[in-house]
Amino acid sequence: MVVLGIAAAALVAAFLLVDLQGNLAYVLPRRLNRVGAMVLVAAAVGVSTVLFQTVTGNRILTPSIMGLDALYILIQTVLAFALGASTLLTLGAPLRFAVEVTLLVAFSWLLYRWLFTGGGHSLHLLLLVGIVFGVFFRGTSSLLQRLMDPSEFIILQDLFFASFNRVDPMLLLISAVVVAGLCVPAWRLRHRLDVLALGRDTAVGLGVDHRRTVTLVLVICSVLVAVSTALVGPATFFGLLVSALAYQLCSSFRHAVVLPIAVLLGVIALVGGQLVLEQVFEFDTALSIVIEFTGGIVFLALLLKGRIR
């Protein structure tokens, strides 16, 4: 953990200082804003993924399985289809952010309330319904995109990938407050999460209120993913990538160790990857595409490995 912390701090310093020239009063705040967005996304996605995998008992699942990423794309597509992609981009960033976070959190809350206050109370049913909604959202988005003007679709397509270059500083500050406020209860739950990882029956036998704890964790995951997605865009396989690496590096499965390591790995992946793309490849590709490609390979490797359930 110490080594990862030093590496993350070194990469952040390198990103801020390498090739720093021109008007420092203009360049440095922009770099700080981008680094802040990367650290925030690393914390939100890393924590939410580890927590989600613990309550579901499956290390190949991520919160995006609930259809949140697909809902984000549907929101952007509907707005672009109704208003025009150019008009969508001219809307105020705070308004778009508020609408996106509200809809994402409302969808998750309604889904959890329906399933956990109904007759089933089944986590597996929750996952299944989330997958079905994700397929529905993607299908609807695809239909609307085929009906759009090609020039409008090209503008819209840029919003489908995570980008750290268009983050509003005020929204970053608000998001940081929300993420920090949610990471505190997540950290306080770390001992109960260790028990939950042993299985539902064992957790109940050891005195953990399984239903209440799982519901609280799912709400925390939903808000973290909603804020991260609304701020920079969807990053479907990023959480899977950092959580898989965190479990591989950890000699212990205690969440007091796994959670900070997952966050540090996220910071290293985002800041280090962006630094390499800018300084070595000169912006020839987008960081989110590389991360999604790598995360997809990790996902397939975990599926083929067959030992992690």
pLDDT tens digit sequence for 268-300: 988 888 888 777 766 655 666 777 777 677 767
Instruction: Tell me the mean pLDDT in the region 159-185.
Output: 85
Give CA–CA dist 175/225, Å, rounded: 11
Query: Which positions ≥6 away from 253 have C-beta within 8 Å?
Result: 194, 197, 247
Position 120 confidence tier, pLDDT thresholds 50, 70, 90:
very low
Instruction: Tell me the mean pLDDT in the region 30-53.
Output: 90
Q: What is the percentage of the chain residues whose pLDDT exceeds 90?
A: 16
pLDDT tens by residue, 182-217: 999 999 988 999 898 888 888 888 888 888 888 888
Checking if the pLDDT of 260 tops 90, the result is: yes
3-class DSSP assignment, residue 30? helix
Lowest mean pLDDT among 152-156, 256-260, 300-304: 300-304
Q: How far is CA 251 from CA 1, 171, 245, 247, 257, in A?
A: 11, 37, 12, 8, 9
Spatial CA neighbour of 161 closest among 73, 71, 97, 36: 73
251: CATH? 1.10.3470.10
Give the pLDDT of residue 122.
Answer: 63
In the chain, the number of structural domains is 1
Give the pLDDT of residue 302.
Answer: 67
Give the pLDDT of residue 307.
Answer: 52
Sign for the CA dihedral angle at 15, 19, 20, 22 comes to negative
Task: State the pTM of this model.
Answer: 0.84
pLDDT tens by residue, 7-26: 999 999 988 888 777 777 77
CB atoms within 10 A of CB 213: 17
Segments forming the whole domain that contains residue 230:
1-305
Lowest mean pLDDT among 98-107, 126-135, 223-232: 126-135
Give the pLDDT of residue 119.
Answer: 46
Contact by Cβ (8 Å): 232, 162:
yes
